[in-house]
Amino acid sequence: MSDIPSPERIPESERIPESERIPESERIPESERILGVLGGMGPLASAQFMLRLTLLTPAARDQEHIPAVLWSDPRVPDRTRGKLSGGADPLPWLLRGVRGLRAAGCGALVIPCNTAHGWHAEMAAEGLPILHIVDAAAAELHKVAPTGTIGVMGTAATLRMRLYQDRLEALGWSCITPDDDQMARQVSPAIASVKANRVAEAYAPLAEVAQALAARGARAVVLGCTEIPLGIQAGPYQSLGVPLVDTIDALALAAIAWARG
């Protein structure tokens, strides 16, 4: 896919006539709190984020909900391969989305993909505030396990980059993660199942790993990949015996707090 063309590169025949353009007086002020959602990683997780954003917003009518623009581009190259095995670099695609959302008038961004936060600094350099998913998860984690050892589940890249471990340990928690065998046999295949719309298949392996982390002393488990909540909620997750931090819900709550500012 080529870059989004600048106005001077758009053929005259395809440009919006001056008479049909939105007058300056009717354009949305930059100060309005329009939320940008950089999604498509994966598309089901992005759709779930929009659903949860809507359901968690205390609103009695349409006009009380949060204005949001979803940029869902599933063509973004795989983030784990990009970080760990020399795959295509997703950053140009991520920046394209950031710039598109900025052009749409968004005042802040959320990214319902944990691994994409490995490029957080480069995206934030574009000038739009990005609500960090780990900070959102930490706020929810405080409610269920304010201290002690917590488990973190995520993609291999998220765990290798220590996106959660470094940030949460700086806040006083100790972090444990699945071992290499659990990642290879259970977590990574379960994430792939959700991405392939075989959500029900993901429950058993994810539930087993969450319980294994609890058996190792985790007081709560952070579901640090936005496919994991979808998979683990496909079964009786309430009976697992350990509090779970859903990073989709955590990010939605942080977005609501920002919008209500």
Secondary structure of 201-218 in the HEC alphabet? HHHHHHHHHHHHHHHCCC
Q: Per-domain residue ranges for the chain?
A: 7-132+251-260, 134-246
Q: Which helix (H) or strand (E) holds 87?
A: none
Residue 221 near residue 242 (C-beta atoms within 8 A): yes
User: Residue 138 in contact with residue 171, Cβ under 8 Å?
Assistant: yes
Distance CA(184)–CA(145), nearest Å, equals 28
| Cα–Cα distance for residue pair 116/237, rounded to 1 Å | 26
CB 38 within 8 A of CB 72: no
- From the DSSP assignment, how many helices (H) and strands (E) are in the chain? 12, 7
State the Cα–Cα distance between residues 205 and 35, nearest whole angstrom: 34
Query: Taking a C-beta distance cutoff of 8 angstroms, is the pair 70, 37 a contact?
Result: yes
3-class state of residue 39 by DSSP: strand
Please choose, from the candidates 160, 107, 167, the residue with its C-alpha nearest in 3D space to the C-alpha of residue 134.
167
In the block, residue with structure tokens 């444990």: 176
The residue assigned the tokens 């075989």 is: 198
- Residues 6+ away with beta carbon under 8 Å from 115: 41, 79, 80, 83, 154, 155, 157, 158, 161, 163, 225
Looking at domain 134-246, its CATH architecture is: 3-Layer(aba) Sandwich (3.40)
Please name the residue that has the structure tokens 């870059």.
3
Could you tell me the fold of the domain covering 7-132+251-260? Rossmann fold (3.40.50)
27-56 pLDDT, tens digit each: 555 457 999 999 999 999 999 999 999 999
Q: Digits of tens for pLDDT over the chain (261 positions)? A: 444 444 445 455 545 556 555 455 555 554 579 999 999 999 999 999 999 999 999 999 999 999 999 999 999 999 999 999 999 999 999 999 999 999 999 999 999 999 999 999 999 999 999 999 999 999 999 999 999 999 999 999 999 999 999 999 999 999 999 999 999 999 999 999 999 999 999 999 999 999 999 999 999 999 999 999 999 999 999 999 999 999 999 999 999 999 998
7-132+251-260 matches 134-246 in fold = yes
Query: Over the stretch 60-86, which tens digit does the pLDDT of each residue have?
Result: 999 999 999 999 999 999 999 999 999
Amino acid at 209: V
Which amino acid makes up residue 251? L
Give, in degrees to the nearest 5, the angle at Cα 75 between 187 and 154. Answer: 20
